[in-house]
Structure 1
């Protein structure tokens, strides 16, 4: 029988049947994604081992749920750069023609489809809570796209979905050398 935990911010989350340390909400409207409804999953969370997690996750989600489409538009250039860097690395393919024809970086959002939100604690260094939006995108069908927000406040990573929540963790470099993470305030 499935267990349940309660978040003051998003309500009830039910324990995943396959992963006992994953807890899933019902679909929640996400202002950052133009009120698209997405499931939020608390990952790598064992209530008996991290008693502060829910409170810290709630604070991060409160911060994150204050972000709007305007905040999303403010990072359009980074999403567009991720797309163009990928396209340039793989070379021209006529299937990607609509992407190559993008004139305004804000158009990039027409090619991004959010699928879920994960909330997890970084297991090293700052041990903060991070909110991660995982997406499919038209340019990187295999690994998709992710946007990661430290404490739900500020974008600290945009990349393919590679299992890491910071560039510093992905490349085993100091946090101070992680361009977006080092700008966190």
Structure 2
């Protein structure tokens, strides 16, 4: 039998039938992603073991839902760099020509398709709440792209989808050596 939790920010989330610690919302408009509608999933959340999660997730979501296209454009350089680093690593393919021809880095978003948003608590160090936008992208069909925002406020990671929400966790290095995370205000 399915359970439900209530977020003051996004409403009802239903417990996933396959993963009991996943809770999924209906699709909502995401201003940062040009008002595309995406479901939001609270991950690794067991209500009986983390009594502050929903409140903290709601605050992170409120921060995140205030982000606009202008905020997205302010991080275009990071998405563009991710694309170019990947293309340079795999070598030239004529199918990628539209990506190579990008002049205005804000145009990189024409090649990114967001699919879902995950909210989770980092299980080490800061134990903070992170908002992760999972995307498909035209340059990395196998691993896609993820954008991660600590407390829903500012970008703290952009990478392929690798199961980690920080560079520090992915490469087992101190948070102070994580370029974006260390700049979190």
Q: Shorter-chain TM-score: which interval?
A: over 0.9
1:177 aligns with 177
Matched residue of 1:135: which SS? strand
1:117 aligns with 117
Alignment of 1:13-24 (within 5 A): 13-24=13-24
Q: TM-score, normalised by structure 1?
A: 1.00
Distance in 2 separating the partners of 1:14 and 1:83: 35
Matched residue of 1:156: which SS? strand
Distance in 2 separating the partners of 1:47 and 1:34: 32
Matched residue of 1:48: which SS? coil
Provide the aligned length of Structure 1 versus Structure 2.
185
Give 1:28 shift.
0.6
Distance in 2 separating the partners of 1:91 and 1:153: 35
Matched residue of 2:120: which SS? strand
Distance in 2 separating the partners of 1:69 and 1:20: 34
1:41 aligns with 41
1:139 aligns with 139
Give 1:156 shift.
0.1
Q: TM-score, normalised by structure 2?
A: 1.00
Distance in 2 separating the partners of 1:71 and 1:122: 24
2:12 aligns with 12
Distance in 2 separating the partners of 1:121 and 1:109: 27
Distance in 2 separating the partners of 1:154 and 1:102: 25
Distance in 1 separating the partners of 2:176 and 2:103: 33
Structure 1 gaps of 5+ residues are none
Runs of 4+ more than 2 Å apart: none
Give the alignment's Cα RMSD to 1 decimal.
0.3
Give 1:4 shift.
0.1
2:151 aligns with 151
